[in-house]
Amino acid sequence: MTLAKKFSVSNNLTSYFFGIALITVIVYTELLVQYFENGIESSAELRLLTETRSFANAYEQDKTAPLPSSYVMTFYFDELPKLVMQQSDILKGVDLNVGDFLFIMGDEVVPKLLEDEFVLVLHHGKLHDGRSLYAIAKYDFNLLADHETERWDEDFLFILYIGVGYLVLILMALWFYSYRVGKKSGALVDWAEQVSTDNLGSERPDFQFNEYNRVATCLEQSLKRNAALMEREKKFLSHASHELRTPIAIIRANMEILERMDIPELALSPLSRVERANTNMQLITETLLWLGRKNDIAPAEYQVNITYLLKQLIDDHTYLIQGESVEVIHDYDVAPVEVLPATPLMIILNNLIRNAFQYTHKGWIRVTYQCGRIIVENYDTDIVNDREVVSFGLGLELTQKVCSRLHWELDIIYSDGGVKAALQLPVSG
């Protein structure tokens, strides 16, 4: 199964922080532009307000004081004047409350007059005698030369340069961070792929980041615990198998003595069952001893007649279904003679067949050879949907351990009322 490709931690963090930085730059750039424009407007409002207050003070002292006027700013009593452009009064309908300011952009009221770029700033003040005072400032940008208006563009570009420079700085910092984290992540992955119970004693590299070192420590401790469990299991298998060999040898010796004696016919069947049980126990003991060995020497290979071996194993376990309503289906006549590790193969097939015969009481058992695979399948109609009973057995667990030790492929499929075990035979060298 192929794992879906996913982003690394460093790439995810880089994308996350870059997204935050990009949003920050956009927001702050917009704020800077707004503050810049608001600053210009506040400056214009402040000038109108101070001029209005100055005239109001003078008017309070002398009502005959003339209205101030300049090329930019003009004042009017009581109502707004008519300001005609393109045969239209651009101030018609303007309602301005006392103390308010109003900005009128030239391209909004005179859209066709592109060369007449101007801004009107209006302010409504109140004099001490209740009269209204309107102040109008007109800023005509056509009066400014190109090099004089470039300074405004430069201010906006400066804001843009700050944003771009900040992004470049963030990108460089994130690249350095991603490179550093990615390098240490790769080192941790390489170390995790190479570490095993055989090289746990070697010095562990320092991954600099505390989290990475903690992950490495957890992995190292987990491997040590697994190694301890494996060693304890090997010792248990070795001790258990050695302890079993003595009673098995005693039973075998006494069986040979009994075979030389005249035994009543009624005792032959019980003695036969004892001998078969002793043979099975001996096979399990040999399996335990073989699993407990610490060397990895490959088992010897011999020519094995698979058909004869399967028939012999089935005959040896037929006693387990005597008196039961079980049909045994043979489908292995085409099995060839091949060079195989004889002892492990016999252990595996014996356990699979014994497990099928032992846990089938009403149903059928099928043993099949097909394209280099030996399939042992059983089905019991009395225990349908009872997987715990079907799959129970020391033989099946030992079989899986032997196959794992030899790197043989064994597929076990559970179904309602049965188990299907398929052993892929190794290719002989």
Sequence-distant (6+) residues with CB within 8 A of 6 are none
Supply the angle between the helices 210-259 and 265-292 in degrees, to the nearest 10.
Answer: 150
User: For residue 122, what is the enclosing H or E element?
Assistant: strand 118-126
Sequence-distant (6+) residues with CB within 8 A of 211 are none
In whole angstroms, what is the distance from residue 380 CA to residue 392 CA?
A: 14
Determine the distance from the C-alpha atom of residue 200 to the mean position of all C-alpha atoms in its chain, rounded to a whole number.
28
According to the model, what pLDDT value does residue 429 have? 53
Give the lowest-confidence range in 15-19, 123-127, 346-350: 15-19
Place 392 in a pLDDT band, splitting at 50, 70 and 90.
very low
In whole angstroms, what is the distance from residue 205 CA to residue 185 CA?
A: 12
Q: What does the DSSP 8-state code read for residue 398? A: H
According to the model, what pLDDT value does residue 422 have? 93
In whole angstroms, what is the distance from residue 114 CA to residue 326 CA?
A: 103
According to the model, what pLDDT value does residue 44 have? 85
Set out the domains of the chain in order of their start, with CATH numbers: 9-154 (no CATH), 197-297 (1.10.287), 298-424 (3.30.565.10)
Q: Which of 155-164, 250-259, 299-308 has the highest mean pLDDT?
A: 299-308
According to the model, what pLDDT value does residue 3 have? 45
Give the lowest-confidence range in 3-12, 75-84, 95-104, 309-318: 3-12
Give the pairing type, strands 418-424 and 373-380.
Answer: antiparallel
According to the model, what pLDDT value does residue 148 have? 64
Is 60 exceeded by the pLDDT of residue 116?
no
pTM comes to 0.44
Picking from 332, 342, 330, 338, the residue whose alpha carbon sits closest to that of residue 374 is: 332
The mean pLDDT of 287-293, rounded to a whole number, is 69
Beta bridge partners of 379: 364, 418
According to the model, what pLDDT value does residue 409 have? 92
Phi-psi region of 372 (alpha: psi -120 to 50; beta: other; left: phi over 0): left
Residue 272 · residue 307 · CB < 8 Å: no
- The H-assigned helical ranges of 260-363 are 265-292, 306-316, 342-358
Residue 208 · residue 184 · CB < 8 Å: yes
Determine the distance from the C-alpha atom of residue 380 to the mean position of all C-alpha atoms in its chain, rounded to a whole number.
42
The mean pLDDT of 61-81, rounded to a whole number, is 86
- Pairwise pLDDT comparison (299 vs 221), residue with the higher score: 221
In whole angstroms, what is the distance from residue 343 CA to residue 362 CA?
A: 31
pLDDT (tens digit per residue) in 133-184: 899 888 877 777 666 667 767 777 887 788 788 888 888 887 887 777 777 7
Give the lowest-confidence range in 311-320, 366-375, 381-390: 381-390
Q: Which residues of 173-199 are buried (b: 16+ CB within 10 A; e: fewer)?
A: ebeeebeebeebbebbeebeeebeeee
